[in-house]
Structure 1
């Protein structure tokens, strides 16, 4: 279960991991503006469809805009302090990093809270996409691209 790398026959990526007796589809989260990879479901902590956000423990290609702390006024997050999260590649605002939260939603503190309207979700293994517009690589193209990266890294290591 999980990821399996077969060096003799090439790169094989399994799209599901076992979680107890159930399986969970692996997803990759992309910026809706430039398709830069922002994170994946292995670090997913909270999926909040009511408020249209996903919260990740770790993210990549995301900058925390620390220049200005913003405060939420009203609603369940009233008084919450946060910094904007922007895509490093295209500077699109993709979510928030909460610094201070009311007790009811304190679980979001310190997590990368991605706005579902600012990202695309690619499910590994079924070549489907959700979220914004645009074309994502199908599974075969993704595997080919990953093979090229693995071969390039292998050449660097072998030198």
Structure 2
């Protein structure tokens, strides 16, 4: 069942992120825009309404989030801490600002293709590079071009046969 779901999306690439404590759905791989191995997080553009943003703004004093302003993310059902959203960071972490950073250690991942639950740290969710996307698009255009040319040839043959009988 490796069929295209929408555009170039394949079922094998679809993963649902769940709270490790209560299995509540927190997000999915469609909104994942990368990972940070330094912080052990999945970076997401959006999460579900089951993720609550703590109103308190924290200031990191040590570790990788030192000198950063951030807010914790909680599962709305079991209140487990599932990540954070950085608002002000050092330059090194500037790519994380405003993103939902889901802690891999707080997640289970439901993989649609295999109908299995795996640890978030076991998955490679790096987005494809632009070069990979362009290569796939070029391949699809070439296939469409070949099909179109074959159709034009067949149409010319049919028109030629029809005009020969008149």
Greater Cα radius of gyration, structure 1 or 2: 2
Q: Give the match for residue 34 of structure 2.
A: 46
Higher helix proportion (structure 1 or 2): 2
Given that 1:76 and 1:104 are in contact with CA atoms closer than 8 Å, whether structure 2 keeps it comes out as no
Looking at secondary structure, tell me which structure has more strand per residue.
Answer: 1
Q: What TM-score comes out, normalization by structure 2 length? A: 0.63
**C-alpha displacement of 1:25:** 1.3
Matched, 1:88 2:76: yes
Number of matched residues?
116
TM-score for the superposition, normalised by structure 1: 0.66
List per-residue Cα deviations over 1:8-38 (Å, max 9, x = no partner): xxxxxxxx825xxxx9611100011110100
Determine if the alignment matches structure 1 residue 77 to structure 2 residue 65: yes
Residue ranges of structure 1 left out of the alignment (5+ in a row): 5-15, 133-159
The answer for the alignment partner of 1:2 in structure 2 is 5
For structure 2, which runs of at least 5 residues remain unmatched after alignment? 121-166
Separation of aligned partners in 1, 2:35 and 2:118:
15
Within 5 Å, which residues of 2 pair with 1:1-159? 1-3=4-6, 17=9, 25-60=13-48, 61-66=50-55, 68-131=56-119
